Amino acid sequence: EKILSVDLSSNGCANPNYKIQLASGKAVMLRVYQRDPSAMHRESGIHQLIHNVLPVANIYHTDAACSIIPYPYAIMEYREGVL
C-alpha cells in the first residue's frame, strides 16, 4: 500500500515511534527498538498477555532479524490517545 506521510511522534520515551499515514486512510505506528533491542520481545509478550483484557493496539508485524533496518521493529495499529 502507498505511504502518504511519515511523522516522528514525540511520545516515545526510549525508542522512536513513527506514525505512517497510508493511502487507504489507515494509519499505523512503526516502533524502532534502538535503545534496547530485546524490548521488542518483552513488549510483544506483554501484549499477548493483556490484549484480551485491555484495549491495546494490534501488532501487525515484528522483525527481530533486522532484515530491513539495523534495529528490531514493530508495525502496529495506530490509536489516537494520550500517553
Write out the three cell numbers for 56: 491495546
Question: What is the number of other CB atoms lying within 10 angstroms of the CB of residue 18?
Answer: 18
pLDDT digits (tens, 9 = 90+) for 19-70: 999 999 999 999 999 988 888 999 999 999 999 999 888 999 999 998 899 9
Cα 76 to chain centroid distance, Å, stands at 4
Q: What is the pTM of this model?
A: 0.85
pLDDT at 11 over 70: no
